[in-house]
Amino acid sequence: METTLRGVGVSHGVAIGEVRHMGTAVLEPPAKQIPAEDAEREQGRARQAVEAVAADLIARGNLAGGEAQAVLEAQAMMAQDPELMADVERRIAVGSTAERGVYDAFAAYRALLAGAGEYLAGRVADLDDVRNRIVARLLGVPMPGVPDSDEPYVLIARDLAPADTALLDPALVLGFVTEEGGPTSHSAILARALGVPAVVALPGAGELVEGTVIAVDGSTGEIFVEPSAEKRAGLEQAAAARKAALAASSGPGATSDGHKVPLLANVGGPTDVPAAVEAGAEGVGLFRTEFLFLDDSKKAPSEDKQVEAYRKVLSAFPEGRVVVRVLDAGADKPLDFLTPGDEPNPALGVRGLRTLLDHPDVLRTQLTALAKAAEGLPVYLEVMAPMVADRTDAKAFADACREAGLQAKFGAMVEIPSAALRARSILQEVEFLSLGTNDLAQYTFAADRQVGAVSRLQDPWQPALLDLVAVSAEAAKAEGKSCGVCGEAAADPLLACVLTGLGVTSLSMGAASIPYVRSTLSKHTLAQCERAAAAARAADTADDARAAAQAVLSGE
């Protein structure tokens, strides 16, 4: 009998197939004692396993590239954490086996993270995956991961570790569903980059029986269990119609009456550029530069290395706009040489621009490298700072850009409610705004973007978040400056229309979403988008806002 479940849709498309469950976690190793003379040998085994797992994660990142590479390299750093390794060796010295020492040391660190507030608790899934991989290698058993199958399937998991999501084969994994996670979790972002339909935060997903046929709608978040032939046909027809519409849509982003809305790509490095170009991106709206700094947590990359990487991206968009975000370190992206290790709540501490202003040499080197990378290229370079709180922050960043001799527009990201509320003041110092809706939602609702339990508050359709977008866009219009969105909100085609109606001047997203947004925008006038925006802001909940906008745009 057909039943319908609802989670949070995070990646467009429809997948219909049989359920396959993620491989089970590694079993707890036995707590047996070893003779004292075996301790050194066991410590060596532990170190070798840690290094092998870290190397495997880095290799997976190199294969995947872009956003996945940055995430996996951060996991490799976690595996090699010197304090964690010292704890492992202490436990082995008093009689634990290598595998038990790893298991117990990670358990202690896990408890610290889980009790350190929601932001750090969101990293527990990544830590568990690293532990499982090390213990599996020590026990000589298969790594936990996606199931082996010769036939395509829909993957079900409690949560998906970045190492698994990054290398999913879209030819076999038709889509995936997880019990945990949120719309801006690592897995959701990587799913969109892969173009795999995905639904997260679905309670009871693990109870779906192996082999059951389900239909996953990654746009609506609906899961149809044992769908009828009629339902399957309807979903397949809708997917085919959507695919045809995408194929017919090309050119610059614009509403049906010609109002231009440049559609830009979010990229994590040079490896993301081909997909962006193929999708017809009109430039880059968010170039995350963290990937360069994750290669070595002990020191910043050289100026020459930065110039080489930046130039590869800038040269791919002649006459296009490339917006570079300077290093956003701290919180879930710690770097040993920059970020303090003892902050009680890193999300509310020294992060982003705050970190760079505390280390002006790192900021100066990056800005100088960007200036050199852009020399002689016909590209419109724009550089923005993350985590700007007020006009003082904006002025400090603009002054640093001028001192570095940067011939580019300087901008500020709006990720903190104070920046939205005082946007007009900030625009006295910079030339554009870019809304990072993922963090803006996190700080507006005090809801960690990695915690599935608060995912409803991370929904970019929340009317309070739309209010902050509107305030920012209105301030930019009053100052005659631009205001784009580079958060995941821009990847939702319906919400893209609403953002346009709120006055946003450009939209930046993962390359896979650009055709969907272009096609949907082209079907509606600017006036319709403005009416949909007003209807969404008048609602009290995210679901009601989405429904109200849909009603306006569908002519109901």
**Residues with catalytic function:** 186, 486
CB 89 within 8 A of CB 39: no
Bridge partners for 198 per DSSP: 11, 176
Helix (H, G, I), strand (E, B) or coil at 58: helix
Q: Is the dihedral of CA 137, 142, 147, 149 positive or negative?
A: positive
**Residue 362 contacts by C-beta under 8 Å, 6 or more apart in sequence?**
300, 327, 338, 356
Distance of alpha carbon 332 from alpha carbon 351, whole angstroms: 10
226: left (phi over 0), alpha (psi -120 to 50) or beta: left
> Hey, which bits of 141-241 come out as E strands?
153-157, 173-178, 198-200, 213-217, 222-225
Question: Tokens 């996996």 correspond to what residue?
Answer: 72
Hey, what are 457's tokens? 């508050």
Query: CA distances (Å), 195 to each of 71, 174, 252, 422, 461, in order?
Result: 18, 10, 21, 37, 22
Distance of alpha carbon 13 from alpha carbon 220, whole angstroms: 9
CB 241 within 8 A of CB 516: no
Nearest to 501 by CA among 552, 464, 541: 552
Question: Tokens 């999913």 correspond to what residue?
Answer: 168
Instruction: Give exposure, 448-462, as e/b (b: 16+ Cβ within 10 Å).
Output: bbbbbebbbbbbbbb
Helix (H, G, I), strand (E, B) or coil at 29: coil
Angle at 68 between CA 517 and CA 278, to 5 degrees: 40
Q: Compute φ and ψ for 483, nearest 5 degrees.
A: -145, 105
Question: Tokens 């870019």 correspond to what residue?
Answer: 434
H or E element, residue 477:
helix 463-478
H or E element, residue 264:
strand 263-267
**Residue 465 contacts by C-beta under 8 Å, 6 or more apart in sequence?**
437, 440, 441, 444, 445
Distance of alpha carbon 95 from alpha carbon 101, whole angstroms: 9
Q: Compute φ and ψ for 380, nearest 5 degrees.
A: -95, 95
